[in-house]
Structure 1
Amino acid sequence: MRKITQNNEIGSKIESILGKKSIIELTPIKIKKKDTSDKICYFFDTDDNASPFDINMAYDAGFDIVVPISRMTADQVPKLVQDAIFSRKPKAPTAFFIGGSNVKEGEKIAKKVIESLVHPFECPVIIDPRGSHTTASAVVAKTLYDAKNIHKISDLKGEKVVIYGAGPVARIAAILAAKEGLNTFLVETWDKSNEEFIKNLAKEVTEEAGENATEIKGIFAPEKEQRYDVAKDALIIWSLAAAGVEILSSDLMERLEGKKIVVDINLVPPYGIEGIRPKHDNEEIYPGIFGIGALALGRLKANSEGEILKEATKTKGTKVFDYKYAFEVAKKLLSKM
């Protein structure tokens, strides 16, 4: 926009100052308005009641609105997702968070959510059914960090890790361990299961880990002596089975020899490893055996989930926050300690 001075009196004053007639150019300033759209997180939970823990975490991370939808199944996804995205402008701050105890259904839900996103309405997708992705990532990252920085074990490739449990946390921990080159054993301790199940599961998670990962071996060990046998030559032991189930008693732990790093995610007694307490953070619980308890891991897990949710509030377009991403976040948080 250009304005030429026409008033003789004003023009004379300007000329006396500048020594010549002046053309004043006024350039319009375009003010970019800040996007004030609410940050909305749709929380798809497979359980009867959506997890208050995850809902609170999403609010604390910066979402303005969290919409919990319980009893979620994969067949409901397309309509709900497209209703959510088409009712907002493209690149509006919208995210989908998949949780719940039914991990298999959760995986199907996550896949359907990603498939249901349409350009230019893509959104971030967070996958953490019952905290399994962030918990497993915390277990593996914390173990690797402590092995290197506290126990001065620079290279863990080929070292034996025994994982007690066959649930979602154990499965993801096995995949991450195999990707890191550890000699990985996935041990089913439930006496109602069988050897065929755990061997098939080990094969399945080995395939998911990828061709550059080590093979994951499946072991059926319902008896305590069998559990001891598989653990006696391991450097790392992770108790990731169901809460309230003792995996290794004190008499078995006392028989173990050599240095071992032992993790137990159970917060409620009886603990998976007798002698570990939730507050333990690399404390020597038996000679040469160092324990990491649920609270030490819980802080890292919660901080990792918080960082992922914060990142999701700022993300536009499709981005998947799964166990691979959670593992990188956990490692980054530990590196800042």
Structure 2
Amino acid sequence: MSETIERPYVLHMFTATPQMSPFDVNMAADAGYQVIVPYCNVEAGMVANLTQDAIFSRGPKGVSRTGIFIGGRDVMQAVDMLDTARKAMVPPFEVSVFADPSGSYTTAAALVALVERHLGKQHGVELGGKRVLILGGAGAVGRIAAAIAASRGADVTIASHTARSRALGASAELNERFGIVTSGIGTTTPEELRGALADAEIVLATAVAGVQVVGRDDLEHAKRLLVAADVNAVPPEGIAGVNVMNDGKPIDGVPNAGAVGIGALAIGNVKYQVEHRLFMRMRTGGKPVYLGFPEAYDEARAVAAGLG
């Protein structure tokens, strides 16, 4: 009498970096994947072969219990790797693929979704047409937040406090790749920063941890500010007056008394839920899905809407 063995849920995790993120490994395990295998130092040209090794070894039924996760640090490379994996599929040998390099897709999605929530809740307005300033915007989270916000019709400015050329380069790459319109500026001097703040209705701080990009004296110049959000959970605050615990709390020192702040823990809570939901969608959805930052953003909006 033959014994039927239930196939385990297997997740293959690709990263171009020397190691896979322990955060993502834990998230995958908590979503029910039983066998989790990281592949490090994966170059873009290796993705198609790795993908086909994964799909052809288990049969059409086995592939429904197989997934691929794409990590790393390069947000554009992850877009390409996701596309390469999709093109390598040979239906019915097809598995789900989820890209989230350095957590940037899910973090940026949570960031923009919470900003939208508080724009509506506190001010009764939408993101479209609003002037968005992204400080530290040339980094991973900043670039994806810019892509999402611009796709929603916002007037997005990417700022770098280290070099104007970085912001211009990031803006040009995003515009070409995603067919959006953003601009880039330098905020390397107090005068440049304060000039940018004077026009901004939404300020997003996405600089590296432990760097304050907006001080209390700078806030006095943010006369049009409606919402400020900061992904930095490491002291000092990325934006003075926006505590990590804030989720729509008024910001002291801003000319517009209605301006509210969103801190890193509020953003992180939504990011965590989004990543978990996307892993679960891969594992339990019943058909292959391809999940990048647009899908992360849709999920983040659903999570944010459920916050009340």
| Alignment TM-score > 0.5, same fold | yes
| 1:293 has 2:259 as partner | no
Higher deviation after alignment, 108-117 or 53-62: 108-117
Moved more, 320-329 or 88-97: 88-97
**Could you tell me which residue of structure 2 aligns to residue 23 of structure 1?**
none
Instruction: Give the aligned partner of residue 205 of structure 1.
Output: 174
The one of 186, 193, 212 aligned to 2:158:
186
Q: Which amino acid aligns with 2:305?
A: S
Partner deviation per Cα, 1:117-140 (whole Å, 9 max, x = no partner): 222211111010011110110011
Structure 1: segments with no counterpart, 5+ residues: 1-32
- Secondary structure of 1:332's aligned partner: helix
Contact 1:160 1:235 in 2 (8 A): yes
Which residue is equivalent to 1:30?
none
**Equivalence for 1:275:** 241
Deviation at 1:316, TM superposition (A): 4.5
Percent identity (aligned): 33
Give the aligned partner of residue 265 of structure 1: 231
Check if 1:144 corresponds to 2:113: no
CA distances 1:229-269 after superposition (whole Å, capped 9, x unpaired): 11112110000112222111111113432442100100111
**Residues 1:157 and 2:128 are matched in the alignment:** yes
Q: Deviations over 1:42-82 (max 9, x none)?
A: 11122222111101101111112111112222222233222
The 8 Å contact of residues 200 and 222 in structure 2, kept in 1 or not, is answered as no
Aligned residue type for 2:125: S
* Structure 1 equivalent of residue 274 of structure 2: 304
Distance 2:144 2:11 in 1: 25
* 3-state SS of paired residue (1:62): coil
The residue that corresponds to 1:25 in the other structure is none
Equivalent AA in structure 1 for residue 184 of structure 2:
G
Segment drifting more, 297-306 vs 218-227: 218-227
Once the two structures are TM-superposed, the CA of residue 95 in structure 1 deviates from its matched residue by: 0.7
- Please list, as runs of the form range in 1=range in 2, the aligned pairs for 1:200-239 lying within 5 A after superposition: 200-210=169-179, 213=180, 215-239=181-205
Once residues 119 and 52 of structure 2 are traced to their aligned partners in structure 1, the CA distance between those partners, rounded to angstroms, is 46
1:63-120 Cα offsets, whole Å, 9 max, x none, are 1211111222222223322222211011421110001223343333323222222222
Q: 1:114 to 1:249 in 2, by over 3 A?
A: same
Q: For residue 275 of structure 1, report the CA deviation from its aligned partner.
A: 2.1
- Cross-structure match for 2:83: 111
Q: Do the aligned residues in 2 keep the contact of 1:46 with 1:106 (CA within 8 Å)?
A: no
Do the aligned residues in 2 keep the contact of 1:91 with 1:316 (CA within 8 Å)?
A: no
Distance 2:129 2:9 in 1: 45
Q: Is the 8 A contact 1:121 1:317 kept in 2?
A: no
SS of the counterpart of 1:232?
A: helix
For the Cα contact (< 8 Å) 2:127–2:149, is it kept in 1?
A: no
Q: Hey, what does 1:27 align to over in structure 2?
A: none
Structure 2 match to 1:45: 15
Structure 2 alignment gaps of length 5 or more: none
Determine helix, strand or coil for the equivalent of 1:90.
Answer: helix
Distance verdict in 2 for CA 1:91–1:325, change over 3 Å: farther
RMSD, matched Cα: 2.0
Q: Which has the larger radius of gyration?
A: 1
Question: Structure 1 194/236 Cα, relative in aligned 2: closer, same or farther at 3 Å?
Answer: closer
Q: In structure 1, the residue corresponding to 2:59 is in which secondary structure?
A: coil
- For the pair 1:54 / 2:20, whether they are aligned, the reply is no
Q: Distance in 2 between matches of 1:319 and 1:113?
A: 12
Deviations 1:195-222 (A, max 9, x none): 3x43242132123443xx5x21111221
Q: Which runs of 4+ in 1 moved over 4 A?
A: none
**Partners of 1:323 and 1:76 in 2: how far apart?**
22
TM-score by length of 2: 0.90
Q: How many residues align?
A: 298
**2:75 is the alignment partner of 1:100:** no
Report if the CA contact (8 A) 1:124-1:315 is conserved. no
